[in-house]
Structure 1
Amino acid sequence: MQFKHHGLSSEMLLELYKAMLKPRMIEEKMLILLRQGKISKWFSGIGQEAISAGVAMCLDPEEYILPMHRNLGVFTTRNVPLNRLFSQWQGKKSGFTKGRDRSFHFGTQEYKIIGMISHLGPQLGVADGIALADLLKNNKRVTAVFTGEGATSEGDFHEALNIAAVWNLPVLFCVENNGYGLSTPISEQFKCKHIADRGKGYGMESYIIDGNNILEVYSRVSALSRSVRQRPRPILLEFKTFRMRGHEEASGTKYVPQELLDEWAAKDPIENYVAYLREEGILSEEEEVEIKKQFIHEIDDNLQLAFEEEAINSTEINELNDVYRKFVYQEVKPEEKTSNIRLVDALSAGLRQSMEKHPNLVILGQDIAEYGGVFKVTEGFVEAFGRDRVRNTPICESAVVSAAMGLSINGMKAVMEMQFADFVSSGFNPIVNYLAKVHYRWNEPADVVIRMPCGAGVGAGPFHSQTNEAWFTKTPGLKVVYPAFPYDAKGLMATAVNDPNPVLFFEHKALYRSVYQDVPDSYYTLPFGVANLLREGDDLTVVTYGAGVHWMLEILDAHEDIHADLIDLRTLQPLDLQTVYASVRKTGKCMVVQEDTLFGGIASDIAASVMEECFESLDAPVKRIGSLETPVPFARSLENMYLPKGRILREIRQLLAY
């Protein structure tokens, strides 16, 4: 291995050595503790320390780094207290996740480190969002994100690189090509000769770096970081290295040819660098021993602190309270002046006023800029707020959701428009596994609103008509809003943007231009978790939301003999069950109407809750009504048969006659 000092001082050459040695010595200790059963799992980065330490030393303390399993050197180089790292790995309180997640699955704003999730790919899109925020703030910073060669096969990798290239984001995409994805060799992972070759396809610079040569890593990444700060752009870096131990320790390395292990053992980054330092007269044997003694004492002292810490204890209340970021709702009452507008206009007005109120709010989505979105909700926004804040995105829902999360991490707010709610399936993973869990895991809010144009009744067929709110009401950590009226839509949109938690905001397409209402011109808010009692009657309780509200109003207006409490839920998470219970205890009968297919929908949970809480008040079984158990059909006659609207009156009559 050839080393060139690139003009670095002897002091810096020694610092690079220490930066590699410290994580190596910690790992060696962790492997002992693993065998003793004192930690549960370990992902070894032995042999790859030059990459983690080298990259981390090139970045400024305020610049974000997004590491993976094998990047312990990032944490130690950023001087994360060892006792806290050790407590994290033992699931104790001084760790970063309150025992809720393990190993390196955490982030810390204090050290500007954003940890991974096991799904790997979203990390790259999050880096895009962080870098975008820096770009918008003119911070002249670079973001470094790590991934392995295996994850470069994921769609998130390609989406994130494409976004970064299109937007000229200052991101260093650091790929550790270490030979194997668990047991699958690179020959079965990708066909191109080098991962760096992929940079050409995205129009970005890419470089191959010897990942075991600390001086090459440090000199190349330092120069590139300085350049990117001055001229923002993404760069793809492929670090050639090797994983000397198993994917995690239980995996072993039996699938690796011994000659390959021997070849890379001879390229050990620390042993070779120590030999170089001795040849240059920079590190004596006595100095090396002294440095190791200091690290041994530091490791042992901090391990003792972690071992002495009590096992973590919690309560159900504590656990439930940490699912969401605390949000103190602030009521803003509207002024008297109103305009009679449509649901789509109310949404647009609410979003526009939120953009005016929050200068750090960025809107992301396909065709939302000059075109104004396919439903024209953001029409005129570019002229009002500029293309920096109203951003057309490539067609890559997953990476855009992740980028919205990155914006939040870096102190901004994001509203993302799913062009159709159906398309959320392409961005499902970061919503349910990153946004939903991030606060519970390490106390980080996800200040993201995802707009969801949804619903049938417009002849749009199976891929543009779903109302898929039940996918998300099931997931702790998400809030779900579903207004039926322009007044509610505008006020709830304002609250959704104010709320630091992730909000799925459902907007029924069939109501966009068919429902009018007098709506205050001024900015105002409405609370989540408060249902609206639209009609009062003693015969039965009807609980619904979205288009179901208007179906029921039409039926009640046409049949004055039906005296019902009509409850519009408005938000599905949080859910105002107390209003439902109070009504059912009065009427004794309950029907829940949803547009979604019946099985597994929100109606099922409401019905079960009513049965549990109001059983003694019920005079009949709770009735659920939903659409047929088929995809949404295109032809008008088939769509009408699919939707439950035509069956509601008959079901009401049967329930009243029970």
Structure 2
Amino acid sequence: MIFDRKNIDNDGLITFYKKLLLPRLVEERMLVLLRQGRISKWFSGIGQEAIAIGSTLALEADEYILPMHRNLGVFTSRDIPISRLMAQWQGKASGFTKGRDRSFHFGSQDYRIIGMISHLGPQMALADGIALASKLKGDKKVTLVFTGEGATSEGDFHEALNIAAVWDLPVIFLIENNGYALSTPTSEQYRCARLADKALGYGIEGRRIDGNNVLEVYYNINELARELREYPRPVLVECMTFRMRGHEEASGTKYVPQYLFDQWRLKDPVDCFEKFLLEEQVLRAEWVPYLRNEFTTLIDTEVEKAFKEPDITPHERTEVQNMYRLYNPANRTPSETVTNKRYIDAISDGLKQSMRKYGNLVIMGQDIAEYGGAFKITQGFAEEFGKDRVRNTPICESGIVGTALGLAINGYKALVEMQFADFVSCGFNQIVNNVAKTHYRWGQTADVVIRMPTGAGTGAGPFHSQSNEAWFTKTPGLKVVYPAFPDDAKGLLMSAIDDPNPVMYFEHKYLYRSTSGNVPDGDYYVEIGKARIVRAGTRASIITYGLGVHWAIEYADNHPDVSLEILDLRSLQPWDKEAVVSTVKKTSKVLILHEDTLTGGFGGEIAAYIAEHCFFDLDAPVMRCASLDTAVPMSKALEDQFLAKARLEEAMERLLKY
């Protein structure tokens, strides 16, 4: 291995050596603890330290790095105390995730490090969002994100590189090619000769470098970082290295031929650099055991410090509360002047006023700029707010949701428009595993709103008509709202944007141009989690939301002799339990009505709660009226049969007979 010191002085070279040596010795200590049974799991980065050290030292201290689980050197090079890392690994209260997640699955704004989730690929889109925020601020910062050669097969890799290329984002995508994705060799992962060549497909630069040569890594990353700060663009860097231990210790290494270990042992990044320094007489032989002993003593002290910390005492209330960032909305008096608006115009109005109020709000979606979106809700926005803040996106829901989370990490508010709620399935992992859990895991605000044009009634068929709110109501960390009227559409949207927690905002397409009502002209907020009594009554209650509210009103209008109470939930997570209990106690008969399918629909949750908490207040079984347990058909006759409205008369007749 050839090291070119260039203009680095002796002290600088010694610094590189110390930075390399420390994580190696920490790892060796972890392996001893693993054999002793004092820790339960370890993902070793032995043999790959040069990549983490060289790239971290090449960046400025306030530039974000998104490492993976073999990049201990990133954390130690950013001077995170070993005791704090150990507390994280042991699930102690002083760890970054307070016992809620393992290993390097955490982030820290203090150190500008954003850790991975187990799904590997999603963090690359977060880097896009962080870099986009830096570019919008004009702060001339780069973002570095790690991935393994295995994760380059994921769609998240493609989406993140494509977004970064199209938007000229200052991101360094660094592939650690260590030869194996767990046990699968590269020959079974891809057919290209070099992963760096994939850059050509995105119109960006690609480099392959020796990942075991700490100076080569440092110079390449440092050179690229300097260029990208002045001329933002993404670059793909493939670092060739080898994993000297198993994927994790329990998996072993029997699947790896011995000759590979023999070859790569000669390229050990710590040993080779130490030999170079000794040959250059930068390092004296007698200093090596001294430095090792100094680090070993430090490591032992820090490790035992963490072990001595008490185990976490669980508090149920704390865990539940910490799923969300604490948010106390201000009491705001709505405008006294109102204008009659269609549902769709109320949404546009709320979004436009939020864009004016929050200069750091960025909206993203397919065709939302000059075209104005599939339903024209953002028409004219690009002209008023500019295309930096009203961003057309490639067709890549996962990448854009991840980018939104990255924006939130770097100080922005983000709103994503799904062209249709059905398409959210392509971004599902980012929403339920990344966005939803980020605050709970390490206290990071996930200030993201996802607009979901939803519902049937327009003959759009199985892929443009689903009511899929129940996919998200069961996911802790998300808030879910579903307005039925124009004023609520505006008020809930402005509240969702104001709220620092992630919110799924469902807007029914059928209501866009069919429903009108008076809407306050100024800023208007409806508290998330509060239901609304649409019509008071005494004989029975219909609990519903979305288009179901209008079906309930139509039924009540057609049966003026029946005193019906209609409760519009408006919010599904959190939902207004007090209002539900109140209407049950008042009428003693309840029908839960929603457009979603019966099985697994959100109505089942409401019914279960009523049965558990209001049993003695009921004069009849809790009944549900929902759509058929089929996909949404396209034919009008079939769609009418599918929708819950077709069975509302019969369901109410059965309820009222009790």
TM-score of the pair, normalised by structure 1: 0.99
Q: Which residue of 2 aligns with 1:633?
A: 633
Q: Does 1:127 align with 2:152?
A: no
Native 8 Å contact 1:454 1:466 kept in 2 = yes
For 1:333, the aligned partner's letter is T
Name the CA distance, whole Å, in 1 between partners of 2:585 and 2:631: 36
1:213-237 deviations in whole A, cap 9, x for unaligned? 1111111111111111111110000
Structural mapping, 1:62-141, within 5 Å: 62-141=62-141
Q: Does 1:364 align with 2:364?
A: yes
Name the CA distance, whole Å, in 2 between partners of 1:20 and 1:312: 33
Q: Which residue of 2 aligns with 1:275?
A: 275
Name the CA distance, whole Å, in 1 between partners of 2:176 and 2:227: 22
Q: Which residue of 2 aligns with 1:644?
A: 644
Q: Does 1:209 align with 2:221?
A: no
Q: Does 1:429 align with 2:426?
A: no
For 1:33, what is the secondary structure of its paired residue? helix
For 2:221, the aligned partner's letter is V
Name the CA distance, whole Å, in 2 between partners of 1:421 and 1:321: 28
Q: Which residue of 2 aligns with 1:512?
A: 512
Name the CA distance, whole Å, in 2 between partners of 1:290 and 1:136: 48
Name the CA distance, whole Å, in 1 between partners of 2:430 and 2:313: 29
Name the CA distance, whole Å, in 2 between partners of 1:286 and 1:331: 69
1:524-564 deviations in whole A, cap 9, x for unaligned? 21101110001111111110000000011111111101211
Native 8 Å contact 1:483 1:506 kept in 2 = yes
Q: Any runs of at least 4 consecutive aligned residues in structure 1 with deviations exceeding 6 A, and if so which?
A: none
Name the CA distance, whole Å, in 2 between partners of 1:290 and 1:228: 40
- Deviation, 1:331, is 2.7
For 1:548, the aligned partner's letter is G
Q: Does 1:338 align with 2:338?
A: yes
Q: Which residue of 1 aligns with 2:320?
A: 320
Native 8 Å contact 1:331 1:527 kept in 2 = no
Native 8 Å contact 1:107 1:114 kept in 2 = yes
Q: Does 1:54 align with 2:49?
A: no
Name the CA distance, whole Å, in 1 between partners of 2:628 and 2:12: 69
Name the CA distance, whole Å, in 1 between partners of 2:327 and 2:553: 33
1:236-287 deviations in whole A, cap 9, x for unaligned? 0000000110000000000000001111111101111111111111000122
Name the CA distance, whole Å, in 1 between partners of 2:351 and 2:150: 40
Name the CA distance, whole Å, in 1 between partners of 2:37 and 2:359: 51
Structural mapping, 1:237-636, within 5 Å: 237-636=237-636
Name the CA distance, whole Å, in 2 between partners of 1:650 and 1:224: 69
- Deviation, 1:489, is 0.7
Equivalenced residues, count = 658
Name the CA distance, whole Å, in 2 between partners of 1:512 and 1:19: 59
1:131-154 deviations in whole A, cap 9, x for unaligned? 000000001000000010000000
For 1:216, what is the secondary structure of its paired residue? helix
Native 8 Å contact 1:331 1:524 kept in 2 = no
For 2:103, what is the secondary structure of its paired residue? coil
Name the CA distance, whole Å, in 2 between partners of 1:625 and 1:16: 68
Native 8 Å contact 1:421 1:453 kept in 2 = yes
Q: Which residue of 1 aligns with 2:155?
A: 155
Stretch of structure 1 that moved more, 480-489 or 2-11 = 2-11
For 2:634, what is the secondary structure of its paired residue? coil
For 2:61, what is the secondary structure of its paired residue? coil
Native 8 Å contact 1:331 1:525 kept in 2 = no
RMSD (Å), alpha carbons: 0.7
Native 8 Å contact 1:6 1:219 kept in 2 = no
Stretch of structure 1 that moved more, 305-314 or 77-86 = 305-314
For 2:588, the aligned partner's letter is G
Native 8 Å contact 1:480 1:505 kept in 2 = yes
Name the CA distance, whole Å, in 1 between partners of 2:388 and 2:619: 58
- Deviation, 1:417, is 0.3
1:472-524 deviations in whole A, cap 9, x for unaligned? 00100000000000000101111100111110000000001100001111112
- Deviation, 1:332, is 2.0
For 2:355, the aligned partner's letter is M
- Deviation, 1:647, is 1.3
Structural mapping, 1:159-170, within 5 Å: 159-170=159-170
1:188-236 deviations in whole A, cap 9, x for unaligned? 0111001001000000011001000111111111111111111111000
- Deviation, 1:339, is 1.1
Q: Which residue of 2 aligns with 1:18?
A: 18
For 2:272, what is the secondary structure of its paired residue? helix
For 1:184, the aligned partner's letter is T
Name the CA distance, whole Å, in 2 between partners of 1:279 and 1:376: 69
Name the CA distance, whole Å, in 2 between partners of 1:39 and 1:134: 39
Name the CA distance, whole Å, in 1 between partners of 2:329 and 2:489: 17
Name the CA distance, whole Å, in 1 between partners of 2:507 and 2:560: 30
For 1:226, the aligned partner's letter is R
For 2:24, the aligned partner's letter is R
For 2:540, the aligned partner's letter is L
For 1:650, the aligned partner's letter is E
For 2:450, the aligned partner's letter is I
Name the CA distance, whole Å, in 2 between partners of 1:218 and 1:294: 25
Name the CA distance, whole Å, in 2 between partners of 1:344 and 1:330: 26
Name the CA distance, whole Å, in 1 between partners of 2:625 and 2:34: 54
- Deviation, 1:171, is 0.3
Name the CA distance, whole Å, in 2 between partners of 1:336 and 1:389: 30
- Deviation, 1:48, is 0.3
Name the CA distance, whole Å, in 1 between partners of 2:75 and 2:624: 53
Name the CA distance, whole Å, in 2 between partners of 1:377 and 1:332: 25
- Deviation, 1:624, is 0.5
Native 8 Å contact 1:331 1:526 kept in 2 = no
Stretch of structure 1 that moved more, 416-425 or 578-587 = 578-587
- Deviation, 1:628, is 0.6
For 1:634, what is the secondary structure of its paired residue? coil
Native 8 Å contact 1:162 1:202 kept in 2 = yes
Native 8 Å contact 1:52 1:71 kept in 2 = yes
For 2:445, what is the secondary structure of its paired residue? coil
Name the CA distance, whole Å, in 1 between partners of 2:289 and 2:282: 14
Name stretches of at least 5 consecutive residues in structure 2 with no aligned partner: none
For 1:394, what is the secondary structure of its paired residue? coil
Identity %: 59
For 1:272, the aligned partner's letter is C
- Deviation, 1:290, is 2.0
- Deviation, 1:314, is 2.2
Name the CA distance, whole Å, in 2 between partners of 1:503 and 1:524: 17
Name the CA distance, whole Å, in 2 between partners of 1:361 and 1:293: 52
Name the CA distance, whole Å, in 1 between partners of 2:46 and 2:400: 34
For 2:107, what is the secondary structure of its paired residue? coil
- Deviation, 1:96, is 0.5
